[in-house]
Amino acid sequence: MATIFTKIAAGEIPSYKVAESEDFYAFLDINPLAEGHTLVIPRKTEADYIFDLDDETYAGLTAFAKKVAVAIKKAIPCKRVGVAVLGMEVPHTHIHLVPLQSEGDLNFSNKKKQLTPERFAEIAAAIAAEFND
**Residues classed as catalytic:** 94
Cα(17)–Cα(71) distance, integer angstroms:
13
The residue type found at 84 is A
Can you tell me which of 21, 31, 101, 110 binds ligand AMP, judged by CB under 6 A? 31
**Nearest alpha-carbon partner for 37 in 47, 45, 27, 46:** 27
Q: Does 6 bind ligand AMP (CB under 6 A)?
A: no
Residues across the chain: 133
Q: Is residue 70 a contact point for ligand AMP (CB under 6 A)?
A: no
Cβ-contact 50, 105 below 8 angstroms: no
CA 5-7-12 angle, 5° bins:
140
Does residue number 89 form part of the binding site for ligand AMP (CB under 6 A)? yes
**By the rule CB under 6 A, 59 interacts with ligand AMP:** no
Which residue number, 51 or 133, has a Cβ lying nearer to ligand AMP?
51
Stretch that binds ligand AMP, among 58-66, 67-75, 87-95, 125-133 (CB under 6 A): 87-95
Q: Give residues in contact with ligand AMP (CB under 6 A).
A: 4, 15, 29-31, 39, 86-90, 94
